[in-house]
């Protein structure tokens, strides 16, 4: 699973140290699901595209003003700790920042 994140309005995707803006980026995520079941977080590994990730998985993209870690809470009464929930929480956080986000590369 991954996220396709698209710039929208004031939510820009500018490569750090340059004036180059990207229309979208491809992000792979790793999660930290804490033992209490609710406090969680995700580290985003960003690439200019899925093709770039597949060719050079260690060549990460740094984006100005774009956090590579997002904290979130899971409501243990109604939600489960899972990859799906984690991706959905990060998607919602990024959308609240103004980006357009699609969860891609779903297994199955």
Contact present, 86 and 40 (Cβ < 8 Å)? yes
| Of 38, 10, 20, 2, the residue nearest 99 (C-alpha) | 10
Ranges of the chain whose pLDDT falls below 70: 108
pLDDT at 108: 60
Q: Give the long-range contacts of residues 82-91, CB within 8 A, separation 24 or more.
A: 83/1, 83/31, 84/1, 86/29, 86/31, 86/33, 86/40, 86/42, 87/1, 87/3, 87/29, 89/40, 89/42, 90/3, 90/29, 90/42, 90/44, 91/3
**3-state SS class at 96:** helix
- pTM to 2 decimal places: 0.92
């Amino acid at each position: 699973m991954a996220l396709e994140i698209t710039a929208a309005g004031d939510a820009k995707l500018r490569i750090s140290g340059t004036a180059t803006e990207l229309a979208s980026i491809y992000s792979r995520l790793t999660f930290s699901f804490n033992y209490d079941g609710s406090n969680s977080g995700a580290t985003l590994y960003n690439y200019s595209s899925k093709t770039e990730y597949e060719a050079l998985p260690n060549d990460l993209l740094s984006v100005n003003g774009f956090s590579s870690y997002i904290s979130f809470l899971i409501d243990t009464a109604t939600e489960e700790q899972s990859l799906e929930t984690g991706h959905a929480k990060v998607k919602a956080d990024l959308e609240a920042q103004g980006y357009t986000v699609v969860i891609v590369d779903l297994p199955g």
